[in-house]
Amino acid sequence: MGCCDSKDMKDVVKEKYGQIAVSQELGCGCGCGCSDDSGMDYSVFKEEYDGIAGYVPEADLNLGCGLPTEYAGIKAGDTVIDLGSGAGNDCFIASRIVGTNGEVIGVDMTPQMIDRAKANAEKLEYTNVIFRLGDIENLPITANKADVVVSNCVINLVPDKYLAFHEILRVLKPGGHFCISDVVTEGHIPPSLLEQAELYAGCIVGALPVDQYLDIIAKSGFKKVVIHKKKPIDIPESLLNEFLSADEVKSFRDSGVGLFSITVTGEKPACLCGCNC
């Protein structure tokens, strides 16, 4: 499948994650997009949640690339928004922290994921977690709503990342902050890989160079941007062989190009009027 426009990319992601949501094969170790008939395996993205309070194994579809709640600074009573909430994994962890006086809102654009997350919440009797169908580039949430926004390996799947971070800024309260785990690159991914739309759902095609990613965050208006964690990801040889020739694989390995999982935070200024109030 060759490259396509933003709408087509979203359709690829929706179809892929819709299939994952209705799959009964939990714990498939596919992180960031399950392997399919092509045999691609994205387990290299996965981080372990074992021992984290509020962790619900049946809500963990192995689609993340980090632990955003680890550095999110969530407090009791906070309102937390999880972008690309999937089956509810990070929402349920956040709900344990915010307590009964707090609220967690999960947003996902895949109807099957929303259905699965709601079923998990009902089964587990969570009363401080809600899920909404919506697009990260046009969030179904009022301005200045959240104390904290979290997201786990999802922003890289959004075609317009500037708009995504502007929406994050909009829904955060003044002085609020985000904590996002995501995939970035150092160097340039080979064109032969970039032409494969199915890799978009696997977080590779959508990954930006880390400097460009941080620049988007800064230009969106965030301050105090900090990378708390950076982990190299080894692209499996089988995946490279699927799309590159032997010479291209060798050239890629020798190039020093890297794929990384990062967890980054940024703060919405308490005052946006420019008057140093």
Q: Classify domain 6-267 by CATH architecture.
A: 3-Layer(aba) Sandwich (3.40)
Separation CA 173–CA 99 (nearest Å): 19
CB-count burial class (<10 Å; 0-12, 13-18, 19+) for 237:
exposed
Residue 38 confidence (pLDDT): 40
Q: At what angle do helices 210-219 and 161-171 cross, to 10 degrees?
A: 40
CA distance 83 to 180: 9
Chain centroid to CA 82: 9
What pLDDT does residue 223 have?
97
Q: Note the pLDDT of residue 247.
A: 86
Q: Is 67 exposed, middle or buried (0-12, 13-18, 19+ CB in 10 A)?
A: buried
The residue ranges of every structural domain in the chain are: 6-267
Which pLDDT belongs to residue 26?
44
10 Å CB burial of residue 207 (0-12, 13-18, 19+) is buried
Beta carbons of 45 and 233 less than 8 angstroms apart: yes
Rounded CA gap, 168 and 179, in Å? 11
> pTM for the complete prediction?
0.81
pLDDT for res 225: 98
Q: What is the DSSP string of 123-171?
A: HHT-SSEEEEE-BTTB-SS-TT-EEEEEEES-GGG-S-HHHHHHHHHHH
Question: Tell me: the pLDDT tens digits for 206-264?
Answer: 778 899 999 999 999 999 999 999 988 777 777 778 777 888 888 878 777 778 889 99
Q: Which residue has the tokens 């170790």?
A: 29
Instruction: Please give the DSSP secondary-structure letter assigned to residue 207.
Output: P
The list of the chain residues with pLDDT below 70 reads: 1-51, 53-64, 191-205, 272-277
